[in-house]
Structure 1
Amino acid sequence: MTSLLTGATGYLGSAVLDRLVASGYDVVAVVRSPGSAERVTARGARALVGDLTDVAWLTAALADADGAIHLAAPSDGAAALNEAVVDAAIAAYAGTGRRFVLTSGIWEFGAGDLDDDGPLDPPELVAWRVPIEQRLLASDVDAAIVAPGLVYGHGRGLISLITDAPRTESGALTLVGDGEQHWSWVHVDDLARLYELVLVSPAASSGVASGRIVAVDGAPLTVRALGEAVAGEAGVAGESADASRARLGAVFADALLLDQRASGRKARELGWIPEHPSVLEEVERQAAAA
């Protein structure tokens, strides 16, 4: 099976690339530079240098693949990029039965107990995603949208917002907000396995392999609990929401202040089971090593 992959040099994308190559897929990795082409080639992919915002070019590239996963996430221009990628996916895959997997994120569900097919209430940071995704889901493309929780593993990910948080004068670790909000997590390698599973699972009549699929380990934890595991005897110190907004930027902080508890129901119905230690175990292990 030939699979087109975007974002293959990134944190998550490199994990997905390694997973697909290890499983025997012919992976075509879209990259922007010769240097990136060398990196993905060294990992076992076929590099394709091009511009994802060029809809005609990407449509042709998608047409040569049996399926695709879109993981590229630039720091600037993400909305325009996703618009172009979805345009190309609809042009290339509508009515063909070939699978297109788009990447989203858990924040678009807003606060509360989250379900894959539940309502959306995105904060400003990710509100742009919703109309693009709705257009894809309304098309004739065999599409799935993976919405990961906070990704961790291999010493990377947003866990650094806790482990590298500033300390007070007494040494206490500063939390985001009061720390009582839950964050839902997923290990990067477990997430890579889920992407592979979603790629090869055509939409069923039950809808399990279609629509939005929340990718979490099912063990949401409070920011305070993780902070206490990092801080040890030094303890933690909460801050006001306004203080977090001033420190991190209002738009970013408002996403981090969401209280989100997710189980990842549809992923488990597909047969996916997280295998890696929880984020709390990883933090405790790091703290012990330090």
Structure 2
Amino acid sequence: MDTVLITGGSGLVGQALTQLLTEHGYKVIILSRHPHKEDTTLSNSLVTYAGWDLRRQTIDLNALQEADYIVHLAGANVADKRWTAAFKKEIVDSRTQSIELLFNNLQQHPNKVKKFISASGTGFYGENRNGAFTETDPPATDFLGQTCVAWEEGVRKMESLGKKVVIFRTGMALSTKGGALKEFQKPLQFGFATILGNGEQWVSWIHIHDLVRLYFNAIVNPALDGTFNAVAPAPVPHKELVLSMARVVKGKSFITIHVPAFALKLGLGEMSTEVLKSCQVSSKKIQDTGFVFSYPDINAAMEQLFQSKK
């Protein structure tokens, strides 16, 4: 069976993808700065860890040369902290330097990598004006838009090495194990459904199960190539997303509160513009390849995510 090398394999998507791949018999190598200190919860006979260091631009060549596919998920979480100049640099560098390291070593050393599959984000797009964004729309000129441009440009360089390239511009990934949804859950523990701003801003989301299936599909489908939006077919206003979760978790036993835009700007600074940005993104291109979403509807997605915990 083929070997898949994953960067960012200890993250939310990486862990779920590793589980799916090993269930289907794939060998997985997870790149890590500290391969000997990794949590071994995912470890079995099909999962191993290998080292890399972005600052020193070093990588375990044996792992790279063993790979048939590379899935690139590495990158600092943009919501981890306030966007200081230093953290913005980290957001960019963690994406572009990792690509540079992989590209240089694939260029310089014999390898059998067939396809390079990378994350990107719907932050590529700006604020909606007319209809949903498609993959042919231009990027935003703001920080996240230009970060995604640099990220994707680095990934596309892999084509010059004869590799097929797939890029998934990913919306809000819904999982109870991490990400934005876990943050939205916290006030619900005290009976509050917290709406950010007026709640009318559109959110393009995807269930973690469907997101992982997209990556798996990119591996098993040799014909899949290009850039795709990784979002469910039905984006929703932020308010609807939060209330859908609240109804599943609390029934009718919750109080809706709004956090005004000015408070978000004070607390989050520049990042508040992303929280309040309205962004509808189309899933038509990936659906036209034959991919069928298991959770196209927000209510069904929330039911599965939270009922499975009860």
TM-score range, shorter chain: 0.7 to 0.9
- 1:280 deviates by 2.9
Structure 2 vs 1, CA of residues 217 and 182 (structure 1 numbering), >3 Å: closer, same or farther?
A: same
CA contact (8 A) 1:224 1:236 kept: no
RMSD of the alignment, in Å?
A: 3.2
CA gap of 1:223–1:133, structure 2 versus 1, over 3 A, is same
Cα distance change on mapping 1:58 and 1:125 into 2, 3 Å: farther
Q: 1:71 aligns with which of 73, 91, 106?
A: 73
Q: Cα distance 1:3–1:148, how it changes in 2: closer, same or farther (>3 A)?
A: same
C-alpha distance 167-24 of structure 1, shift in aligned 2 (>3 A): closer
Q: Please state how far the C-alpha of 1:54 moved relative to its aligned partner.
A: 4.3
1:242 pairs with one of 234, 246, 262: 262
Deviation at 1:121, TM superposition (A): 0.9
**CA gap 1:5/1:20 in 2 versus in 1, 3 angstroms:** same
Offset of residue 181 of structure 1:
0.8
For 1:237 and 1:7, locate their aligned partners in 2 and report how far apart those are by CA, in whole Å: 35
Taking every aligned residue pair, what percent have the same amino acid on both sides?
22
Q: Structure 2 residue aligned with 1:220, among 206, 213, 235?
A: 235
Residue 108 of structure 1 is matched in structure 2 by: 124
1:274 aligns with 2:275: no
- The one-letter amino acid of 1:163's match is Q
C-alpha separation between the residues in 2 aligned to 1:213 and 1:116? 6
* 1:41 and 2:56 are equivalent in the alignment: no
- Unmatched runs of 5 consecutive residues or more in structure 2: 78-86
Q: Which runs of 5+ in 1 are unaligned?
A: none
Deviates more, 1:266-275 or 1:213-222: 266-275
Name the CA distance, whole Å, in 1 between partners of 2:39 and 2:253: 47
Cα 1:37–1:47 shift into 2, 3 Å: farther
Letter in 1 for 2:40: E
- 8 Å Cα contact 2:31-2:49 kept in structure 1: yes
3-state SS of paired residue (1:253): helix
Residue 150 (structure 1) shift: 0.5
Mapped to 2, the partners of 1:160 and 1:73 lie a distance apart of 19
1:91 paired residue number: 104
- How far off its partner does 1:273 sit? 1.6
Q: 1: CA distance between counterparts of 2:51 and 2:73? A: 16
Q: Give the TM-score normalised by structure 1.
A: 0.82
Question: What residue is the counterpart of 2:7 in the other structure?
Answer: 6
Output one character per residue of 1:77-101: Cα deviation in whole Å (capped at 9) or x when no partner: 3422322222233334569772111
Letter paired with 1:88: L
| Cα distance per residue 1:22-65 (max 9 Å; x no partner) | 12212111123323163442383122133245435266643331
Letter in 1 for 2:185: T
2:10 match: secondary structure: coil
One-letter identity of the residue aligned with 2:14: G
Q: AA paired with 1:196?
A: F
